[in-house]
Amino acid sequence: MIALERLNQQFADGKHIAFVKIGELILAKIDTSVARAMVAVQGAQVVEWQPAHEDLPVVWRANDPLYETGKSIRGGVPICWPWFGDHPTLTLAHGFVRTRDWQLMHVHTAPDHTVSLHWRITDSPDTLALWPHTFELDAIMHIGSDLRIQLVTHNTGPEPFSITQGLHTYLKVGDARSIVIRGLEATYYLDKLKGYARDYQDDMITIHGAVDRIYFGTNHAVEIEDGELDRLIQIDKEGSYSTVVWNPDDRVPSGMRPEESKDMVCVEAVNAADDTVSVAPDESRILGTRISTRRLT
Protein backbone atom coordinates (compact mmCIF):
# COMPACT_ATOMS: atom_id res chain seq x y z
CA MET A 1 0.00 0.00 0.00
CA ILE A 2 3.03 2.29 0.06
CA ALA A 3 2.48 3.44 -3.55
CA LEU A 4 -1.20 4.13 -2.88
CA GLU A 5 -0.42 6.17 0.22
CA ARG A 6 2.28 8.12 -1.58
CA LEU A 7 -0.01 9.02 -4.48
CA ASN A 8 -2.74 10.19 -2.11
CA GLN A 9 -0.29 12.24 -0.07
CA GLN A 10 1.23 13.86 -3.15
CA PHE A 11 -1.74 14.39 -5.46
CA ALA A 12 -5.12 13.84 -3.75
CA ASP A 13 -6.94 17.07 -2.92
CA GLY A 14 -9.57 15.79 -0.50
CA LYS A 15 -12.41 16.81 -2.82
CA HIS A 16 -12.14 15.77 -6.45
CA ILE A 17 -9.04 13.57 -6.81
CA ALA A 18 -8.25 10.41 -4.86
CA PHE A 19 -6.39 7.15 -5.45
CA VAL A 20 -7.99 3.78 -4.78
CA LYS A 21 -7.04 0.15 -5.19
CA ILE A 22 -9.26 -2.19 -7.20
CA GLY A 23 -8.06 -5.76 -7.43
CA GLU A 24 -4.30 -5.58 -7.90
CA LEU A 25 -4.25 -2.11 -9.49
CA ILE A 26 -4.15 1.48 -8.30
CA LEU A 27 -6.45 3.97 -10.03
CA ALA A 28 -6.94 7.72 -9.89
CA LYS A 29 -10.56 8.55 -9.19
CA ILE A 30 -11.74 11.89 -10.61
CA ASP A 31 -15.09 13.33 -9.54
CA THR A 32 -15.79 16.98 -10.32
CA SER A 33 -18.78 19.11 -11.29
CA VAL A 34 -17.99 18.51 -14.99
CA ALA A 35 -16.95 14.83 -15.19
CA ARG A 36 -16.26 11.53 -13.49
CA ALA A 37 -13.37 9.31 -14.54
CA MET A 38 -11.02 6.53 -13.47
CA VAL A 39 -7.43 6.25 -14.69
CA ALA A 40 -5.18 3.28 -13.90
CA VAL A 41 -1.54 3.79 -12.94
CA GLN A 42 -0.79 0.66 -14.97
CA GLY A 43 -0.69 1.74 -18.58
CA ALA A 44 -1.83 5.30 -17.77
CA GLN A 45 -5.13 3.88 -18.98
CA VAL A 46 -8.32 5.88 -18.85
CA VAL A 47 -10.79 3.23 -17.70
CA GLU A 48 -13.97 5.31 -17.43
CA TRP A 49 -15.12 8.79 -18.46
CA GLN A 50 -18.56 10.32 -18.12
CA PRO A 51 -19.07 14.06 -18.54
CA ALA A 52 -21.70 15.60 -16.26
CA HIS A 53 -24.03 16.43 -19.15
CA GLU A 54 -24.36 12.72 -20.05
CA ASP A 55 -26.57 10.21 -18.24
CA LEU A 56 -24.35 7.29 -19.27
CA PRO A 57 -20.58 6.84 -19.65
CA VAL A 58 -19.01 7.80 -22.97
CA VAL A 59 -15.88 5.69 -22.56
CA TRP A 60 -16.94 2.05 -22.28
CA ARG A 61 -15.50 -0.68 -20.11
CA ALA A 62 -16.52 -4.30 -19.62
CA ASN A 63 -19.07 -4.98 -16.88
CA ASP A 64 -16.68 -7.19 -14.94
CA PRO A 65 -13.12 -6.37 -16.03
CA LEU A 66 -10.02 -7.84 -14.46
CA TYR A 67 -7.78 -5.47 -12.54
CA GLU A 68 -4.65 -7.60 -12.67
CA THR A 69 -0.96 -6.76 -12.77
CA GLY A 70 0.44 -7.23 -16.25
CA LYS A 71 -2.94 -7.39 -18.00
CA SER A 72 -4.66 -4.49 -19.73
CA ILE A 73 -8.15 -3.68 -18.43
CA ARG A 74 -10.81 -4.53 -21.02
CA GLY A 75 -12.21 -1.19 -22.12
CA GLY A 76 -11.29 2.43 -21.58
CA VAL A 77 -8.40 3.83 -23.61
CA PRO A 78 -5.41 1.46 -23.55
CA ILE A 79 -2.20 3.03 -24.87
CA CYS A 80 -0.60 0.90 -27.59
CA TRP A 81 3.12 1.68 -28.08
CA PRO A 82 5.73 1.28 -29.64
CA TRP A 83 3.81 -1.02 -31.94
CA PHE A 84 0.13 -1.32 -32.70
CA GLY A 85 -1.33 -4.77 -33.22
CA ASP A 86 0.77 -7.90 -33.45
CA HIS A 87 4.56 -7.88 -33.33
CA PRO A 88 6.33 -9.87 -36.08
CA THR A 89 8.30 -12.01 -33.60
CA LEU A 90 6.97 -11.39 -30.07
CA THR A 91 3.69 -12.69 -28.65
CA LEU A 92 3.18 -9.32 -26.93
CA ALA A 93 0.42 -7.51 -28.85
CA HIS A 94 0.07 -3.71 -28.83
CA GLY A 95 3.47 -3.03 -27.26
CA PHE A 96 4.59 -3.07 -23.65
CA VAL A 97 3.60 0.25 -22.05
CA ARG A 98 -0.05 -0.69 -21.46
CA THR A 99 0.93 -3.35 -18.90
CA ARG A 100 3.56 -1.38 -16.97
CA ASP A 101 3.15 1.23 -14.24
CA TRP A 102 3.64 4.85 -15.27
CA GLN A 103 4.86 7.68 -13.05
CA LEU A 104 2.41 10.47 -12.32
CA MET A 105 4.36 13.69 -12.79
CA HIS A 106 1.78 16.41 -12.21
CA VAL A 107 -1.90 17.00 -11.47
CA HIS A 108 -3.70 20.28 -12.06
CA THR A 109 -7.31 21.40 -11.69
CA ALA A 110 -8.29 24.32 -13.91
CA PRO A 111 -10.86 27.01 -13.02
CA ASP A 112 -13.42 25.22 -15.23
CA HIS A 113 -12.83 22.07 -13.08
CA THR A 114 -11.04 20.18 -15.85
CA VAL A 115 -8.45 17.90 -14.24
CA SER A 116 -5.13 17.43 -16.06
CA LEU A 117 -2.90 14.44 -15.40
CA HIS A 118 0.64 14.13 -16.74
CA TRP A 119 2.05 10.58 -16.80
CA ARG A 120 5.48 9.38 -17.89
CA ILE A 121 7.28 6.13 -18.63
CA THR A 122 10.89 5.70 -19.77
CA ASP A 123 13.09 2.89 -20.99
CA SER A 124 14.37 0.25 -18.59
CA PRO A 125 16.43 -2.92 -18.91
CA ASP A 126 13.17 -4.84 -19.42
CA THR A 127 11.96 -2.60 -22.24
CA LEU A 128 15.38 -2.52 -23.90
CA ALA A 129 15.31 -6.33 -24.04
CA LEU A 130 12.05 -6.09 -25.99
CA TRP A 131 12.75 -2.96 -28.06
CA PRO A 132 16.35 -1.67 -28.21
CA HIS A 133 15.74 2.09 -28.01
CA THR A 134 15.82 4.68 -25.24
CA PHE A 135 12.78 6.90 -24.94
CA GLU A 136 10.63 9.16 -22.80
CA LEU A 137 6.89 8.73 -23.30
CA ASP A 138 4.36 11.14 -21.82
CA ALA A 139 0.58 10.81 -21.63
CA ILE A 140 -1.12 14.13 -20.98
CA MET A 141 -4.85 13.93 -20.35
CA HIS A 142 -7.46 16.60 -19.70
CA ILE A 143 -10.59 15.24 -18.06
CA GLY A 144 -13.58 17.55 -18.23
CA SER A 145 -16.67 18.09 -20.34
CA ASP A 146 -14.57 16.60 -23.13
CA LEU A 147 -11.71 14.11 -22.89
CA ARG A 148 -8.36 15.03 -24.43
CA ILE A 149 -5.32 12.75 -24.51
CA GLN A 150 -1.91 13.45 -26.00
CA LEU A 151 0.74 10.75 -26.27
CA VAL A 152 4.16 12.38 -26.67
CA THR A 153 7.10 10.25 -27.84
CA HIS A 154 10.58 11.65 -27.26
CA ASN A 155 13.64 9.89 -28.67
CA THR A 156 16.39 10.16 -26.05
CA GLY A 157 18.82 7.94 -27.93
CA PRO A 158 21.48 8.55 -30.60
CA GLU A 159 19.66 6.77 -33.44
CA PRO A 160 16.28 7.33 -35.11
CA PHE A 161 13.50 4.83 -34.51
CA SER A 162 10.11 4.09 -36.04
CA ILE A 163 6.89 3.30 -34.21
CA THR A 164 3.27 2.47 -34.72
CA GLN A 165 0.90 3.40 -31.91
CA GLY A 166 -2.70 3.87 -30.91
CA LEU A 167 -5.16 5.29 -28.41
CA HIS A 168 -7.39 2.21 -28.37
CA THR A 169 -10.63 4.04 -27.49
CA TYR A 170 -13.70 2.00 -26.49
CA LEU A 171 -16.92 4.04 -26.77
CA LYS A 172 -20.29 3.33 -25.19
CA VAL A 173 -23.22 3.09 -27.63
CA GLY A 174 -26.85 2.07 -27.29
CA ASP A 175 -26.69 -0.63 -29.94
CA ALA A 176 -23.70 -1.08 -32.25
CA ARG A 177 -25.97 -2.34 -35.04
CA SER A 178 -27.98 0.87 -35.12
CA ILE A 179 -25.16 3.44 -35.06
CA VAL A 180 -23.83 5.32 -38.08
CA ILE A 181 -20.13 6.25 -38.30
CA ARG A 182 -19.42 9.28 -40.48
CA GLY A 183 -16.16 10.83 -41.65
CA LEU A 184 -14.45 7.81 -43.19
CA GLU A 185 -16.27 7.88 -46.51
CA ALA A 186 -14.24 7.82 -49.73
CA THR A 187 -11.22 6.21 -48.07
CA TYR A 188 -9.34 2.94 -48.45
CA TYR A 189 -8.98 0.48 -45.61
CA LEU A 190 -7.32 -2.80 -44.70
CA ASP A 191 -9.74 -5.48 -43.51
CA LYS A 192 -8.07 -7.60 -40.83
CA LEU A 193 -10.90 -10.13 -40.95
CA LYS A 194 -10.17 -10.76 -44.64
CA GLY A 195 -6.42 -11.23 -44.36
CA TYR A 196 -5.73 -7.48 -44.53
CA ALA A 197 -7.38 -7.23 -47.95
CA ARG A 198 -7.55 -3.66 -49.25
CA ASP A 199 -11.04 -2.26 -49.87
CA TYR A 200 -12.81 1.06 -50.41
CA GLN A 201 -15.37 2.72 -48.13
CA ASP A 202 -17.73 4.66 -50.38
CA ASP A 203 -20.39 5.51 -47.79
CA MET A 204 -20.95 5.88 -44.05
CA ILE A 205 -20.19 2.85 -41.88
CA THR A 206 -22.87 0.67 -40.35
CA ILE A 207 -22.13 -2.49 -38.35
CA HIS A 208 -23.77 -5.81 -39.18
CA GLY A 209 -21.23 -8.24 -37.71
CA ALA A 210 -17.59 -8.30 -36.67
CA VAL A 211 -15.56 -5.33 -37.98
CA ASP A 212 -11.79 -4.79 -37.70
CA ARG A 213 -10.45 -2.23 -40.18
CA ILE A 214 -7.66 0.32 -40.55
CA TYR A 215 -8.70 3.38 -42.59
CA PHE A 216 -5.96 5.47 -44.22
CA GLY A 217 -5.60 9.16 -45.04
CA THR A 218 -7.93 10.03 -42.18
CA ASN A 219 -6.57 12.87 -40.06
CA HIS A 220 -9.97 14.55 -39.70
CA ALA A 221 -12.80 14.15 -37.18
CA VAL A 222 -15.03 11.07 -37.12
CA GLU A 223 -18.58 11.08 -35.76
CA ILE A 224 -20.71 8.32 -34.26
CA GLU A 225 -24.43 8.99 -34.60
CA ASP A 226 -26.22 7.04 -31.87
CA GLY A 227 -30.00 7.26 -32.14
CA GLU A 228 -30.54 4.83 -29.25
CA LEU A 229 -28.82 7.19 -26.78
CA ASP A 230 -29.73 10.39 -28.67
CA ARG A 231 -26.15 11.55 -28.86
CA LEU A 232 -23.36 12.17 -31.29
CA ILE A 233 -19.82 11.27 -30.26
CA GLN A 234 -17.09 13.20 -32.07
CA ILE A 235 -13.53 11.89 -32.23
CA ASP A 236 -10.95 14.52 -33.23
CA LYS A 237 -7.39 13.48 -33.94
CA GLU A 238 -3.87 14.92 -33.89
CA GLY A 239 -0.81 13.40 -35.55
CA SER A 240 -2.87 10.44 -36.77
CA TYR A 241 -3.34 9.52 -40.42
CA SER A 242 -5.08 6.21 -39.85
CA THR A 243 -8.22 5.26 -37.95
CA VAL A 244 -9.22 1.87 -36.58
CA VAL A 245 -12.87 0.82 -36.39
CA TRP A 246 -13.46 -2.35 -34.35
CA ASN A 247 -16.39 -4.31 -33.02
CA PRO A 248 -15.86 -8.02 -32.31
CA ASP A 249 -19.53 -9.08 -32.51
CA ASP A 250 -19.53 -12.56 -30.93
CA ARG A 251 -15.74 -13.02 -31.39
CA VAL A 252 -15.03 -11.25 -28.14
CA PRO A 253 -11.56 -11.22 -26.55
CA SER A 254 -10.81 -12.17 -22.95
CA GLY A 255 -12.37 -10.04 -20.26
CA MET A 256 -15.56 -9.40 -22.24
CA ARG A 257 -18.82 -11.31 -22.60
CA PRO A 258 -20.32 -11.86 -26.10
CA GLU A 259 -23.45 -9.86 -25.33
CA GLU A 260 -21.38 -6.83 -24.33
CA SER A 261 -20.18 -6.20 -27.88
CA LYS A 262 -23.49 -4.61 -28.80
CA ASP A 263 -22.85 -1.83 -26.26
CA MET A 264 -19.51 -0.64 -27.65
CA VAL A 265 -17.49 0.32 -30.66
CA CYS A 266 -13.85 1.32 -30.97
CA VAL A 267 -13.00 4.31 -33.17
CA GLU A 268 -9.31 4.90 -32.60
CA ALA A 269 -6.71 7.54 -33.36
CA VAL A 270 -3.73 5.47 -34.47
CA ASN A 271 -0.59 5.28 -36.55
CA ALA A 272 -0.89 1.74 -37.88
CA ALA A 273 0.24 -0.52 -40.74
CA ASP A 274 1.88 1.71 -43.38
CA ASP A 275 1.22 4.82 -41.29
CA THR A 276 4.46 4.57 -39.32
CA VAL A 277 6.08 7.41 -37.41
CA SER A 278 9.81 8.08 -37.59
CA VAL A 279 11.36 9.87 -34.62
CA ALA A 280 14.82 11.38 -34.96
CA PRO A 281 17.23 11.72 -32.01
CA ASP A 282 16.00 14.37 -29.55
CA GLU A 283 12.77 14.74 -31.55
CA SER A 284 9.24 14.51 -30.14
CA ARG A 285 6.08 13.35 -31.94
CA ILE A 286 2.49 13.68 -30.75
CA LEU A 287 -0.52 11.41 -31.18
CA GLY A 288 -3.69 12.96 -29.81
CA THR A 289 -7.43 12.48 -29.56
CA ARG A 290 -10.34 14.54 -28.28
CA ILE A 291 -13.69 12.94 -27.45
CA SER A 292 -16.78 15.13 -27.15
CA THR A 293 -20.54 14.65 -27.32
CA ARG A 294 -23.70 16.52 -28.17
CA ARG A 295 -27.40 15.74 -28.44
CA LEU A 296 -28.90 14.66 -31.75
CA THR A 297 -32.22 16.33 -31.01
Select from 170, 133, 130, 124 the least CA-distant residue to 153: 133
Which residue among 94, 168, 223, 260 is the active-site one?
168
Q: Where are the alpha helices (DSSP H) in the chain?
A: 2-11, 125-130
Q: Which residues neighbour 203 within 8 Å (Cβ) at sequence distance 6 or greater? A: 185
- What kind and span of H or E run contains 150? strand 147-155
Query: For the CA atoms of 135, 78, 96, 17, what is the dihedral angle to 10 degrees?
Result: 70
**Cα–Cα separations (whole angstroms), residue 81 to 63, 153, 214:** 26, 9, 17
Q: Let me know if 268 is a catalytic residue.
A: yes
The dihedrals phi and psi of 24, each to the nearest 5 degrees, come to -95, 0
Catalytic status, residue 168? yes
DSSP 8-state code for residue 229:
T
Using DSSP, state whether 126 is helix, strand or coil. Answer: helix
- Which residues are catalytically annotated? 168, 268
